[in-house]
Homo-oligomer: A and B are copies of this chain.
């Protein structure tokens, strides 16, 4: 196995919401950071502009000629780039396949060709589908994802594991709950604020509002990523990351309406799922990473409160 040191870190999808928070954390710990992002969802101004140790290569992960040289000398690759919009995949499954699976394959292949010793992959709670064990541990099986997004995340986990074993690098697989925080460009918070910007009198909510999931702040998530990187030592290290409890969609809708002045009418489209492949209930066991010393500090609802206020400020809804 190649030696892992404190050298340059590559972050694909580093201009996204989670990626740009991870980039800040890596810079704060002294690393050189090389971001690869096609800016289809991420944004250049999500990155700190004044740090000479940070570079951005605008490239699609499916086209390694555009970025593979950035892997030279890197000690780790964080692979976050993917279609991050779970719902979009339900309209066109090929989007998730190409961006998720083919993209992951090409990043893995580029990393092994340059002998990068550590590969860190952000997967998702959607790999569990509708688990019969809640909170769901990493040992749960069989994994029967219900969305294309989840299906391609599971497939990418398989590729990461196969490459790590075949080429002797170490890998991490992180199964995320809903990660929320600054600079989001999609997801439930973004959608609700967008809808109210377009029509302040009503908020349409997909499903019956009772879908209930675990929300974790980006900054806590990033701390978990780094704790696991520093303290786990298997060939492939799988960790859930989430909070201890859940928040309903209804609660989020009411909080977003409240921060807008409380006048909008909330209209539920009905049904237990917001969209094809939506999972009504999600709560991950975080005991495994807890044994390494990381624990979520905020409850899911406290993370939601902070994020509603933050997005409201980002968008000028409140000052």
**Which residues of A does B touch, CB under 8 Å?**
90, 93-94, 97, 101-102, 105, 109, 127, 129, 138-148, 150-163, 165-166, 173, 235-236, 238, 276-277
Contacts and interface: CB of A to CB of B under 8 A. Distances in A.
Contacts of A156: 155
A271 to B, nearest CB: 15
A146 B97 CA distance: 22
8 interchain residue pairs of minimum CB distance: A155-B155, A151-B162, A154-B158, A141-B141, A151-B158, A146-B165, A144-B161, A142-B238
A26 to B, nearest CB: 26
A262 B97 CA distance: 51
Contact of A154 (B90, B140, B154, B235): B154
A124 B166 CA distance: 18
A139 B138 contact: no
A129 B158 CA distance: 10
Contact of A236 (B97, B105, B144): B144
Contacts of A163: 93, 148, 151
Q: What is the total number of copies of this protein in its complex? A: 2
- Secondary structure dominating the interface of A: helix
Q: Which of A102, A138, A146, A160 has the largest number of chain B CB atoms within 10 A?
A: A146
13 contacts: A93-B109, A97-B105, A129-B165, A142-B238, A146-B162, A146-B165, A147-B162, A147-B165, A148-B163, A151-B160, A152-B155, A152-B158, A158-B158
Contacts of A165: 129, 144-147, 276-277
A154 B151 contact: no
A155 B142 CA distance: 13
Contact of A151 (B148, B159, B173): B159
A1 to B, nearest CB: 14
A163 B149 CA distance: 11
Contacts of A129: 161, 165
A235 to B, nearest CB: 8
Q: Which of A141, A146, A156 has the largest number of chain B CB atoms within 10 A?
A: A141
A65 to B, nearest CB: 15
Given A142-B238, A236-B144, A127 B90 contact: no
Given A97-B102, A142-B157, A165-B277, 13 more contacts: A94-B109, A97-B159, A138-B141, A144-B235, A144-B238, A147-B165, A147-B166, A148-B166, A151-B161, A152-B159, A153-B158, A154-B155, A162-B277
